Amino acid sequence: MIIPDHIFRTYDIRGVYPDEINEESAYHIGRAFGTLVRGKGWFDCVVGRDNRTSSEPLSKAVIRGLTDSGCNVIYTGLTTNPQIHFFTRHESFHGGVNITASHNPLQFNGIKLDLNGAVPVWGIGLKELREVCLKENYVSGEGAVQEKDLSESYVKYVTSKFTSLKSGKIVVDSGTGAAGVSAKKIFEKLGLNTVFLHCEPDSSFPLGPPDPEGEVMQKRLSSEVLEHGADIGFALDTDGDRLNVVDEKGKSYRSDEILMLISEDMLKRYPGGQVVYDVKCTGLLDNVIKKAGGIPKMTATGRSIILNEMNKSLLGGEFSGHIYIGGDDYLGYDDGIFTALTVLKIIQEHNLPLSALMSSYPRLPSTLEIKVDVSDKEKPGVMETVRRLVSDMVKNEDRIIRVLYIDGVRAYISETGWFLIRSSNTSPYLSVRAEGKDQEELDALLSITEEILKKALNN
């Protein structure tokens, strides 16, 4: 079976439906994953999906592939990524599949794969999966299928961690994505005074793809919090693993800022714990974590990479809205609903509004993530040129004083001023960020970045 190579991305499988990913390719991916599961002596898989129109037919095709490989499948229907992780960790499933393209536009869809213990299939594992598809080197069998709602065990576990929460007034906006269903069950079971907005799934995404990192969803949440006089607001993405947080004044906080708050809280109970964060995050995290008695570690962007670090970390975070809570608090993976409740618990324990708690952390002038459109085919060449140009600038002592090559290029012009240029692993663009001590330094960083990108793109 020929499947486009580029849809096998670093962390998942993702492409345009039906041109790049369709029922036929989904069937073969199911056969290949089933072969992988059976090869480990396992049989039992769980399959869920988000609420895109194409997700149901794709999930059914994957299930056929799994059962034709001899796997038994429980189909859970509308499901979030954290639920699939939970089921492969707590419900003894050997494999987990979620059909979702997260925050990508409606024409996209994708497949995320877990092995037992919420271990992601990514990187080399996905390349090997594609090779199995190409050779159609499958095992065969006759597995059984059962449709069953497993959400109650997940809801019960999450709510058990937050029984001391007081009501307050909360806004939750899931942007008509799949996460709204779980959020409503959990917040209602906890008896929280919650305004649920756009929490009914709508496959047409009338408000646009639910992307808590995006400006549209952030502005909407801010206005909703102010309109309802809420204490706090949370926006969730399509598949429930990311969030955005807004305080009672309507101010929005990035996930790296929220990570500072959670770091200080958790390090009081787990002194000496490691906190891992990706290269897109603020440079302020290093000092905040050290001051709180923790060990900071910067790493490459990507759920699978952070998860690998979570084996020896207390807490993790990505600039894009993923926060990973470990220790005895949670299971070490990214769950937007669990993170929202954690933030709510912190502000209630301090008996202070979020704005007051966040005011203790400095906020340096910085950009949001800037996306520079570059095709998947051109990205490797462009990034190679970027690395060469930055290396030459360091050698020539031309403004740049040091560089980190953890993921793309994170270059410093001072101890506080840095810019990042990296290749997105999920979409056809370069990801760019910059942070400086003041607006003047930020402007200088953006000028250098523009200069480098212009040369690299015209090379």
Confidence class for position 10, pLDDT limits 50, 70, 90? confident
Rounded to an integer, what distance in angstroms lies between the CA atom of residue 49 and that of residue 111? 9
Q: The tokens of 423 are what?
A: 């290749």
Average pLDDT rounded to a whole number, residues 6-15: 92
The CATH H-level superfamily of 370-457 is Alpha-D-phosphohexomutase, C-terminal domain (3.30.310.50)
Pairing of strands 44-49, 295-299: unpaired
Q: Residues near 433 by Cβ (< 8 Å), separated by ≥ 6?
A: 280, 319, 366, 367, 368, 369, 370, 419, 420
Which tokens go with 79? Answer: 């499901």
Q: What is the token pair recorded at 238?
A: 């399509």
Query: Each residue of 360-369: pLDDT tens digit?
Result: 999 999 999 9
Judge if 254-363 and 370-457 fold alike in CATH terms.
Answer: no
Distance of alpha carbon 72 from alpha carbon 93, whole angstroms? 10
Length of the chain: 459
Give residue-wise pLDDT tens across range 86-135: 999 999 899 999 999 998 899 999 999 999 999 999 999 999 999 999 99
SS3 93: coil
The answer for residues whose C-beta is within 8 angstroms of residue 372's C-beta and 6 or more apart is 429, 430, 431, 432, 453, 457
186-203: pLDDT as tens digits:
999 999 999 999 999 999
Nearest to 302 by CA among 283, 316, 288, 284: 316
Domain boundaries, the chain: 5-150, 167-253, 254-363, 370-457
Q: What are the two backbone dihedrals, phi and then psi, of residue 173, each rounded to the nearest 5 degrees?
A: -125, 115
Superfamily of domain 167-253, CATH level 4 = Alpha-D-Glucose-1,6-Bisphosphate, subunit A, domain 3 (3.40.120.10)
Q: Note the pLDDT of residue 292.
A: 98
| DSSP 3-state of 314 | coil
Q: How far apart are CA 17 and CA 4, in angstroms?
A: 12
427, pLDDT greater than 90:
no
Rounded-to-5 percentages of helix, strand, coil across the chain: 40, 20, 40
CA distance linking residue 353 with residue 365, whole number of Å: 23
Q: Which two tokens stand for residue 373?
A: 């459109």
- What tokens does 233 get? 């607001």
From CA 324, how far away is CA 74, in angstroms rounded?
A: 26
Q: Please give the positions annotated as active site.
A: 102
**Which DSSP letter does residue 91 get?**
S
pLDDT confidence of residue 113:
97
| Cα 422 to Cα 433: distance, rounded to the nearest angstrom | 9
**What is the mean predicted confidence (pLDDT) over 26-48?**
98
Span 5-150 CATH architecture: 3-Layer(aba) Sandwich (3.40)
Look at residue 459 and tell me whether its pLDDT is greater than 90: no
Binned at pLDDT 50, 70 and 90, residue 447 comes out as very high
Q: What is the DSSP string of 273-309?
A: -EEEEETTS-THHHHHHHHTT-EEEEE-SSHHHHHHH
Decide if 304 contacts 11 (C-beta within 8 A). yes
Reduce the DSSP state of residue 135 to 3 states and report it: helix
Q: Average pLDDT of 260-287?
A: 98
DSSP one-letter code for 436? -
Instruction: Compute the CA torsion angle 221, 222, 226, 230 (nearest 10 deg).
Output: 60
Q: What is the mean pLDDT of residues 203-232?
A: 95
Nearest alpha-carbon partner for 435 in 260, 285, 247: 285
Question: In the structure, what pLDDT confidence band is assigned to residue 164 with cuts at 50, 70 and 90?
Answer: very high
* Angstrom distance (rounded) from CA 221 to CA 193: 17
Pairing of strands 72-78, 145-147: parallel
Lowest mean pLDDT among 1-10, 278-287, 346-355: 1-10
Radius of gyration, alpha carbons of the chain: 22
Q: What whole-number distance in Å separates Cα of residue 458 and Cα of residue 452? A: 10
Q: Half-sphere exposure (CA, 13 Å, Cβ side) for 361?
A: 26
Q: What is the pLDDT of residues 22-34, one digit of tens each?
A: 999 999 999 999 9
CATH number of the domain at 254-363, out of 3.40.50.150, 3.40.120.10, 3.90.1150.10, 3.40.50.2000?
Answer: 3.40.120.10
